[in-house]
């Protein structure tokens, strides 16, 4: 029995109250429209998380305007929640902190983990809603254990996170840090559809955002070049760009403004160079050509692992994704011999093939048979 079967079974007895996150985009709008069509009692929710000006005005102003238009068309209320304090503490501060020490963070993952889901769920429960819904491309299944679970598994029904039908739009990579307590109260209505179908439904429902383009910027901040955003808090510190043999080929403006695998225009040759490492002590950016072995690795270590549906037995043969939309890679996950004071249960991932630009601060996410098992931060 799937989680949707259980919801619809209960729906026949009473209307289920759902707080639907409305971002001002087409996906969340269609998610809310589908729930209304299915008979749920839906109220919209808009989250205001960042009010600094990125361009002419804070991006939330236009997003809220579109969210209001969507709710007016659907005939539902829109509640506005101010999570800016928590967003700055848990996401913005984290982003600057990670870049300062040379890593490349993923604010979308942390926003889902610390802001979007836990805070909205807290408000939903306080106001008497049973579920929160979002426009994420993902699917949930409820597994009812037939016998007592073996190993470290949660008691009762076990919620599993599965990839969306639309493989290109799948967002489980950004959701892998969610836990059972959140997933038990979440709905992903568009997980069974592909993006063209969602667009078509938006037109059919007459939604005012049917043709609105997707935002590709920082979560809740807007479309701003990352360098421009970092300059708000991080001062440039110029240094040398060198090859592995220490030959100087150029100059950089500050290590935080570069990420592993990034192309840099230095050297004066025809073949481009790419960032392979950062020497923080010497303030040097180390680069190499695309075919350099320095750019490829067959293993990495991850920390702070979140297992969504219980800790599996290790070593674990599975598929791994190192960045959003990267094709899944065959790998084995095992206990790590690397010991670090700030690492919680570090694990080592050994890949079947060398991986390009494994980036500290990003996340490695584990999959098996379409299920997102969880993941952790790359060291």
49-93 confidence digits (pLDDT tens)? 888 765 556 678 899 999 999 999 999 999 999 999 999 999 999
pLDDT tens for the chain, 379 residues: list them: 354 555 555 545 578 999 999 999 999 999 999 999 999 999 999 999 888 765 556 678 899 999 999 999 999 999 999 999 999 999 999 999 999 999 999 999 999 999 999 999 999 999 999 999 999 999 999 875 554 444 444 445 799 999 999 999 999 999 999 999 999 999 999 999 999 999 999 999 999 999 998 876 666 566 678 888 899 899 999 999 999 999 999 999 999 999 999 999 876 667 899 999 999 999 999 999 999 999 999 999 999 999 999 999 999 999 999 999 999 999 999 998 765 545 567 999 999 999 999 999 999 999 999 999 999 999 9
Enter the DSSP assignment of 268: S
Q: Is 219 a catalytic residue?
A: yes
- Choice among 49, 219, 300, 318 that is catalytic: 219
**What is 235-291's CATH topology?**
SH3 type barrels. (2.30.30)
Q: So what's the pLDDT on residue 155?
A: 47
Q: Which of 61, 68, 26, 27 is closest to 45 using CA atoms?
A: 68
Its pTM stands at: 0.90
Class at the top of the CATH hierarchy for domain 16-205: alpha beta
- Choice among 59, 71, 111, 300 that is catalytic: 111
Strand, helix or coil at 357?
coil
Q: So what's the pLDDT on residue 221?
A: 63
Give, rounded to a whole angstrom, the gap between the first and last alpha carbons of the chain.
Answer: 39
The superfamily (CATH) of domain 295-378 is Translation factors (2.40.30.10)
User: How is the beta sheet containing 239-242 ordered, strand by strand?
Assistant: 248-252, 239-242, 284-289, 273-279, 263-264
Domain boundaries, the chain: 16-205, 235-291, 295-378
Spatial distance between the Cα atoms of 137 and 188, rounded to a whole number of angstroms: 7
In total, the chain counts a number of residues equal to: 379
Q: So what's the pLDDT on residue 147?
A: 47
What φ, ψ does residue 116 adopt, rounded to 5°?
-55, -50
Q: CA Rg, the chain, in Å? A: 22
């Amino acid at each position: 029995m799937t989680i949707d079967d259980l919801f619809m079974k209960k729906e026949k007895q009473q209307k289920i109250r759902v707080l639907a996150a409305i971002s001002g985009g087409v996906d969340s709008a269609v998610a809310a429209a589908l729930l209304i069509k299915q008979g749920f009692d839906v109220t919209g929710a808009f989250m205001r998380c960042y009010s600094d000006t990125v361009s002419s005005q804070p991006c939330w102003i236009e997003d809220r305007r579109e969210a209001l238009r969507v709710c007016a068309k659907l005939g539902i209320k829109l509640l506005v929640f101010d999570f800016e304090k928590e967003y700055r503490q848990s996401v913005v501060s984290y982003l600057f902190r990670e870049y300062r020490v040379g890593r490349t963070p993923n604010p979308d993952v942390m926003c889902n983990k610390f802001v979007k889901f836990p805070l909205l769920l807290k408000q939903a429960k306080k106001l008497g809603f049973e579920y929160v819904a979002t426009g994420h491309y993902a699917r949930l299944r409820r597994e009812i254990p037939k016998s007592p679970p073996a190993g470290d598994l949660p008691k009762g029904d076990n919620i599993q996170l599965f990839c969306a039908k639309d493989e290109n739009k799948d967002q489980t990579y950004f959701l892998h840090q969610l836990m059972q307590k959140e997933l038990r109260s979440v709905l992903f209505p568009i997980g069974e559809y592909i993006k063209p179908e969602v667009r078509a439904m938006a037109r059919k429902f007459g939604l005012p955002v049917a043709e609105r383009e997707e935002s590709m910027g920082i979560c809740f901040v807007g479309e701003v070049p990352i360098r421009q955003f970092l300059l708000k808090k991080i001062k440039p510190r110029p240094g040398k760009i060198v090859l592995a043999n220490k030959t100087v080929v150029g100059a950089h403006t500050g290590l935080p403004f570069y990420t592993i695998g990034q192309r840099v225009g230095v050297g004066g040759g025809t073949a481009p160079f790419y960032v392979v490492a950062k020497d923080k002590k010497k303030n040097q950016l180390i680069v190499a050509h695309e075919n350099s072995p320095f750019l490829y690795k067959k293993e990495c270590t991850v920390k702070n692992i979140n297992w969504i549906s219980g800790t599996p037995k290790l070593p674990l043969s599975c598929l791994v994704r190192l960045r959003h939309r990267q094709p899944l890679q065959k790998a084995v996950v095992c206990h790590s011999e690397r010991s670090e004071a700030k690492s919680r249960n570090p694990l080592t991932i050994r890949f079947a093939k060398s991986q390009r630009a494994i980036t500290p601060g990003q996340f490695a996410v584990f999959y098996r048979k379409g299920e997102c098992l969880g993941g952790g931060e790359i060291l």
